Every structure is written in C-alpha cells, then in structure tokens.
C-alpha cells in the first residue's frame, strides 16, 4: 500500500509540485515557460527527476530566507500582486511605510529621515475601502490617483467625499489604464450593481491607442483556485523580488536624471516627469472591437486629472503652458462622444494659486501624484460636478 502511494506521488504530484514551484520564478504572462520545462521534466529519468525536484525545493526555500533577510521597504509591492497581475491584495488592515515620491529614484534622492507610516485598508476585492457593499451612490474607477498608497486611508477621495454626504466606492489600482476601467465597470454592472460610474482619466499615462479589450480580466475575483495560487506566489515572492533586484541593478547603470526636470516655484525646487510635461502631444483612440465591447458599459462621468506640469506651468517664469485639448481628444472617439467629460485643470490651477500664497503645494516636490491637500481639492471638484449633474 505504501509503495502504491509513493508511486502515485512520484507519477502525479512530483511533476505538479515541480511545475507549481517553477512558476514562482516567472511572471504570470510567461507561464508557458514553466509549462514547457515541466513537460520535458516528465521524460527525464527517475534519478534526474529526483535531483532536479530536490534542488528546486532547496533553491526556493534558500531564496525565500534570503529575501526575508534582505527586507524591502517597497510598500506598493505589498499592496498589489504583481506588475503583470494587477489586482490589489485583499483584506489588508495595517500601517505601511510611506514611500518617497515616485520621482525620487530618478534623481538619486535618498530620504534618511524617520519614515512615516500610513494606514492602509483594503476590502474583499483589494480596493481601498472599509468593505465592499452596495450602499454607495458612485463607483469611482481609476489608477494610482485613486489608490494613493502614499496617503493615509482617511485622506483618500472616497473618505473625503463623505464630508459632502456622498457615498462612493474607490476602485483604483496603480498602473491601471482605461481598458481596466471599462472591465471594472463591465464586471460590476454584470453583477447588477447599477450605480453611477465615475472614470478618472490621467492624460500622462492613460492616453494610449487601445486595441482589443481585456475581456474577462476581473473574473479572477470569482475564481478561488486562482486566488489561492496568487497568494502562494505572493508568499514566496520569488519573481517580484528577483525582478526588483534586477531593475535596481539596471537603474544603477542608467542616467535616469534625464527623465526628470526641475523648476523653482516660490523658491522651492519642484520636480516633473518629462514625459508628462509633453502629455498635450499624446493621443487616445479605441479600435472597433474595443468600442463594440464597451458601448454598453460607459461611465456616467469622466473626470480629467491634469498633470503636475499642467497645474504648475502657470507659475513658472520663462515657461509657457502647453495648450491642451484633453476633453476634445477623448470625446472625438465614437465610444465616448456622448459621455459627460469635465476637466479639473482650471479648478486645480486656481486652488494651487491660492495655496501658493501660503507656501503650500498640491503635490509633494518629488512625486507626480496629489498630496493630501491636492486630494482634498480633487474631492471638492468631484463634489461640485455631482451637485451640478
């Protein structure tokens, strides 16, 4: 009986465990590589299989111990599963280190001061809400401008809007783009959650040429086996940690300073990502299949979020502001032509002007996202739009 169990284990479970562990070294979108290696593994001799299997287990656990001792202060990596698997980690409720601004790495800035911690809580879907329920009036979809992992939970837009008696659900995750936004609307509408949807578009990185849709992207939420698998990947963290170390090494070899510009605003040096300075040149389009797929899943309102340069170019000497036509570019697409689109740029420029008189900024000097004050005004703008709607 024991020999029978051992034999079955060797035939079925050893290849399965070998494949599972091997996948931890690769991104999910390259799962075909461990599949091919595991298929070849089936045809190896028994002794070779045993050596490979044992060594793989040893390597996995040695790397796990190494990465544990190495430590990582990258808060964002703890909040999403992987760059190629953009889902928030569910049911978090803890304090995390506040990261340096996202431009810090480009300018070689190291913050040696005492790190502040921010409260971060996520719901059953990995979004930053107290919990998931249907007792909200507006469903907000967007990227890091909604997720805001550098801000405390109470400073998020969905919490700020409570001051205006607005119940909103925050469905933002960093690195999302408009295809993710539409998939989210589709996912929740198909669950008969008939709320008003507000889509936040950031021209800096959302203006792209969108091809075929990411159909079924959020079916992950209902797949318990897949959720268990990605939690295992997260626990071992092999691919993400190795990728982090590789990228860190590459960064040392590059002159990243060329990607950032700085200007004096009120005698304070403020940094800008060069690519976002030229966001007025970017175009946005949706192909026919994308348009047909999401025509029934349109947002009720689109809010355009200006770039940091769009706001502060107004206060820079010897620098002219670029003429942007973000609303026109979005509305020119057949998919979005009948959607209400509003641009928050003018409102935020005026708020920035008022705050500069008191020496305050809507952004931290080394970050492209709103700080607590900027987020407050974005919330105020949305409240005004909803009031007029």
Give pLDDT tens digits for 216-253. 999 889 999 999 999 999 999 888 888 777 766 665 55
189-92-214-30 Cα dihedral, nearest 10 degrees:
-160
pTM, entire model = 0.91
Does the pLDDT at position 172 exceed 50?
yes
Question: For a pLDDT cut of 70, what percent of the chain falls above it?
Answer: 92
Radius of gyration of the chain from its Cα atoms, rounded to whole angstroms: 24
**Cα diameter, the chain:** 85
Which pLDDT tens digit goes with each residue over 349-359?
999 999 999 99
Which pLDDT tens digit goes with each residue over 88-125?
999 999 999 998 888 887 887 666 555 789 999 999 99
Measured distance CA(170)–CA(138) in Å, rounded:
9
Residue 9 has a pLDDT of: 47
Structure tokens of 75? 């808060």
Question: Phi and psi of 299, rounded to 5°?
Answer: -75, 160
Q: Which residue has the higher pLDDT, 39 or 84?
A: 39
Q: What mean pLDDT is reported for the chain?
A: 90
Residue 110 has a pLDDT of: 65
* ∠ CA 152-81-200, rounded to 5°: 55
Which pLDDT tens digit goes with each residue over 315-335?
988 888 888 899 999 999 999
Could you tell me if 368 and 103 are in contact, meaning their C-beta atoms sit under 8 angstroms apart?
yes
Measured distance CA(24)–CA(233) in Å, rounded:
6
Could you tell me if 144 and 180 are in contact, meaning their C-beta atoms sit under 8 angstroms apart?
no
Does the pLDDT at position 192 exceed 60?
yes
Residue 194 has a pLDDT of: 83
């Amino acid at each position: 009986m024991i020999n029978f169990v051992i034999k079955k284990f060797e035939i079925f479970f050893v290849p399965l465990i070998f494949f599972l562990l091997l996948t931890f070294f690769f991104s999910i979108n390259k799962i075909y590589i461990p599949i091919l290696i595991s298929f070849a593994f089936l045809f190896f001799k028994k002794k070779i299989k045993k050596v490979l299997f044992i060594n793989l287990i040893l390597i996995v656990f040695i790397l796990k111990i190494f990465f544990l001792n190495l430590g990582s202060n990258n808060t964002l990596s703890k909040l999403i599963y992987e760059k190629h698997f953009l889902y928030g980690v569910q049911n978090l409720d803890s304090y995390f280190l506040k990261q340096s601004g996202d431009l810090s790495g480009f300018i070689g800035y190291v913050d040696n001061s005492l790190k502040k911690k921010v409260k971060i809580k996520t719901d059953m879907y990995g979004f930053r809400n107290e919990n998931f329920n249907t007792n909200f009036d507006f469903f907000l979809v967007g990227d890091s401008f909604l997720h805001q992992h550098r801000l405390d939970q109470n400073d998020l837009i969905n919490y700020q809007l409570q001051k205006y008696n607005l119940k909103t659900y925050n469905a933002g995750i960093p690195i999302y783009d408009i295809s993710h936004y539409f998939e989210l609307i589709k996912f929740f509408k198909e669950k008969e959650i008939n709320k008003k949807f507000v889509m936040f578009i950031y021209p800096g990185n959302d203006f792209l040429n969108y091809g075929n849709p990411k159909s079924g992207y959020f079916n992950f939420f209902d797949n318990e086996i897949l959720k268990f698998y990605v939690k295992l990947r997260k626990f071992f963290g092999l691919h993400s940690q190795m990728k982090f170390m590789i990228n860190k090494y590459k960064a040392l070899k590059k002159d990243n300073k060329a990607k950032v510009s700085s200007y004096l605003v009120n005698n304070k040096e403020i940094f800008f990502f060069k690519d976002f300075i030229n966001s007025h040149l970017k175009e946005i389009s949706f192909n026919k299949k994308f348009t047909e797929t999401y025509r029934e899943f349109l947002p009720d309102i689109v809010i355009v979020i200006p770039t940091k340069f769009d706001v502060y170019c107004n206060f820079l000497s010897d620098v002219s502001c670029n003429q942007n036509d973000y609303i026109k570019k979005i509305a020119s697409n057949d998919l979005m032509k009948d959607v209400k689109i509003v641009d928050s740029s003018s409102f935020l420029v005026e708020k920035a002007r008022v705050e500069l008189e008191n020496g305050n900024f809507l952004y931290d000097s080394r970050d492209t996202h709103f700080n607590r004050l900027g987020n407050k005004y974005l919330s105020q703008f949305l409240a005004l739009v909803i009031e007029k709607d």
